[in-house]
Amino acid sequence: MEQKKIDRINELARKSKTPEGLTEAELAEQKELRAEYIAGFRASLRSQLDGIVVQEADGSRHKLNKKDPVKH
């Protein structure tokens, strides 16, 4: 994500804490920017996890397995 967008997220967060708050348009923009930020964060984390290799005590190596989603 571009630094310009991160700065805008922070600007909107600061403004939301002021007495005037955010307008409806700013709330929608904040929601969209946060969703984009989270998607980028998750993609980056997934990329890092996909690159991890575990070495066992016997010297064998394997990639991490994806964990089954938790069912509630």
The SS3 call for residue 6 is: helix
Phi, psi of 51 (to 5 degrees): -90, 0
For residue range 12-45, what is the model confidence (pLDDT) as tens digits? Answer: 999 999 999 999 999 999 999 999 999 999 999 9
**Element at 55 (helix H, strand E):** strand 53-55
Domain layout of the chain by residue ranges: 3-51
Identify the band that residue 58 occupies on the pLDDT scale cut at 50, 70 and 90.
very high
- Give the C-alpha separation, 53 to 36, whole Å: 29
CATH code at 3-51: 1.10.287.540
What burial class does residue 33 get, using C-beta atoms within 10 Å of its C-beta: 0-12 exposed, 13-18 middle, 19+ buried? middle
